[in-house]
Every structure is written in C-alpha cells, then in structure tokens.
Structure 1
Amino acid sequence: MHNIPNYITCIRILLIPVYLYFFIQGNIAAAALFFAISAFTDFFDGYIARKFNLKSKLGKLLDPLADKLTIISILLVLIYLNIIPRLLSFIILAREIFIFLSGIITYFFGLNFINPSFIGKFSIALLYLAIALKLLNIDYFGNILFYIVIPINIVSAVDYSVKAYKKIYK
C-alpha cells in the first residue's frame, strides 16, 4: 500500500467493529459518528485516487470489499436492533451479498471487478443518508428514503448483473 487512498480505505475497514460495538452497546450517537466518518472516507478515498491518479490494483480490490463489509455489517446490526423494517433490510442485504459474491466470482475468473455505475453509487449514497436519518431519529424521512432506495437498489443490481454477464461471456 503505497498510496493515501488505500490507507483511507483500510481505516474504513477498521472502523467497522468500532461503530458496530457502539451500536450494540446502545450508544447510537457514537455509532452514528463513526459510521458517518466511514461513509465520508468512502467518498474521500475515491476522490483522492481519481484526482491525483493514485488508482491501484489493491485499491480496486479493497474499496469494493470495504463497501460491502460496511453495508452488510450495518444492515445486520439494523436488523438485529430492529431499527429499520426487516423486509427492506433483507432486500438491500440480498443485493449487497449478491454483488459481493459476483465480484468474487469475476475475480476468480481472472476478470477485473465491474466498476460501479452511477446508479449503484447513487443507491449507496441514498442508503447512507437513509441510515443516517434513522439514526438521528428522523424516522419519517428516513423511512421514505428507504422505500426510494429499494427500487434503485434493484435497478442497480440488474444493471450490475447485465454488466457481469457481458464481461464473463464476451
């Protein structure tokens, strides 16, 4: 790891047990703070990598791994703590696990990871916002946003599937 974006991504991975600990302990404010830092680093590491041409093979592996670990872990805690409706959580969780496993499969086929599309990035940004609103007890808007995220998540999963299919079978 010879570049700052990779270090930032590693920090994001290391933050996962920190905010999970605070969630489970019931310290939602601390959990929300560390989750917000994690979400911020998700956008920050990519920006730095693109802006200063610091993209790396390791970064292409670490960043999606950190994304999926972050989303999957937070969804599992939100399900466990019953903060968001289970059906919503399971739909989003299924999409994240599907994309995570698809990425692993394409990697084992010796193919590069599929770059996230705009709709996929938009979906994750909305999901982070919805989670943040729920954590801040702004339930009404948080719930509405979760219901907006679901169809966008499904569309992005279909988009990802089509790209993966084309990549594997071309």
Structure 2
Amino acid sequence: MSKSAAAPPPGWGVWTWPNLVTAIRLLGIPLFCYLLLATQYYWQAAIILAVGGGTDWVDGQLARRLNQVSKLGRLLDPFVDRLYILSSLLLLTFIGLLPWLFTAAVLLREAVMVSLVIVLRWHGYAPPQVHFLGKCATTVVFMSFPALVLGTVAAAEAWARPLGWALAWWGLGLYWLAAFVYLRQGAGLIRAGRPQPTVAA
C-alpha cells in the first residue's frame, strides 16, 4: 500500500462517541463506591459495576466501526478498565468482602507486569502483545466482584457468594498463569537480542 493510501495517524479526538462511552463508564466508578459505602442499594451497585466494567469492549468497537480511533481514547480506555479493577478490588477489601491475601496477590501480579514493561523498555522493546489468556483472566477476576457484592443481598446470597468466590480464585490462578506467559515472552525477546519496536502493546 502506498503512503498516500495509508490511514492517517489518529489525532487526540476528544469529542467522539467512543470517548463519550468511556466517560460514562468512568462516572460509574464513584457512583458504585457511593452506593456500596453510603447506602444499602447493593443490587444497584452490583449492576453498575457489572455494566461499567463489562462493557469495556463497547468503546473500542465503536472507535473502529465509526473510524473514530483517537489518542485520547487509546489512553483513556485502558486507564478506565484498570481503574475499575483497582477501585473495586480495594473497596471490596476495605469492606471485608475480599481478604487481604487475595488483594496482595493481585497487586503483586500487577507490580510484576509493570516491572516487565520497564525492563522491556530498557532493552528497547515495546510491551508484549496482549494474550488471550490474559484477557480471560482479567474478565474472570472482574466478574467475581459484582457476584461478591450480590452475595451481601439475602435473596442472592445462596448462589452469588459461592459463584463470586469460585470466579475470584479461579481468575487469580489464570491471572498469574498469564503473567508467566508474558514473562516468558519478555525473556524470549531479551534473549534474542533484537529489539522489535513494532510489537503491539
């Protein structure tokens, strides 16, 4: 394909439909925190958490279908995704729905991944490609959060709490398994000794 036919690089594109969806998702985080800490609307809190975090693919699909990919979207979308996980993790730990051991294991995994990215950057490499296992692990871990919130509601406690714990521990195992996959990819790149800056983030 000639350079003239190539798609132009995306601009910041602040006012786009995908960024609007991402902004609405972002507003769901303080609303979820308020409902869980200051009210007893646990059903509503669980729904907001599930919808806000579970629709992380919507803004990306809109950006591609409407040709509205932007630099702001590329920065904001993963930031909101991570913020949902981190805020939910810390809040559920604070109110006693998650043990500190689980939270420490998730945070340690995140520290390992940040360290991997730093080491790869130091050697001239981009972050490793997102692996399907990593996506599945993140999804399973996140799905456990609204289930555990629903477990505080008497009408749903019998099924929601066991489901939440099953998803949480299963997801944590997948989370670390995915980390080992990324570490292996990174080690392979470094041993090869040939920087590949085009590797997708």
Fold in common (TM above 0.5): yes
Aligned residues of 1:68 and 1:96 also touching (Cα < 8 A): no
User: TM (normalized to structure 2)?
Assistant: 0.69
In the alignment, structure 1 residue 149 sits paired with structure 2 residue 175: no
SS at match of 1:83: coil
Unmatched 5+ residue regions in structure 2? 1-13, 152-159, 196-201
Residues 36-92 of structure 1 deviation map (CA, whole Å, 9 limit, x = unaligned): 221233121122233444332222211111111111111000110111232122212
Q: How many positions carry a matched residue from both structures? A: 170
Letter in 2 for 1:42: D
SS at match of 2:55: helix
Unmatched 5+ residue regions in structure 1? none
Distance 2:186 2:71 in 1: 19
Distance 1:75 1:14 in 2: 17
Q: Quick one: which of 5, 8, 17 aligns to 2:30? A: 17
Q: Which moved more, 1:62-71 or 1:23-32?
A: 23-32
Larger helix proportion of the pair: 1
Aligned-CA RMSD value: 3.0
Q: Quick one: which of 84, 103, 107 aligns to 1:93? A: 107
2:73 corresponds in structure 1 to 59
2:181 corresponds in structure 1 to 159
Aligned residues of 2:19 and 2:73 also touching (Cα < 8 A): yes
User: How much identity, in percent, do the aligned residues show?
Assistant: 29
User: TM (normalized to structure 1)?
Assistant: 0.80
Distance 2:73 2:121 in 1: 14
The structure with the larger Rg is 2
Distance 1:63 1:110 in 2: 25
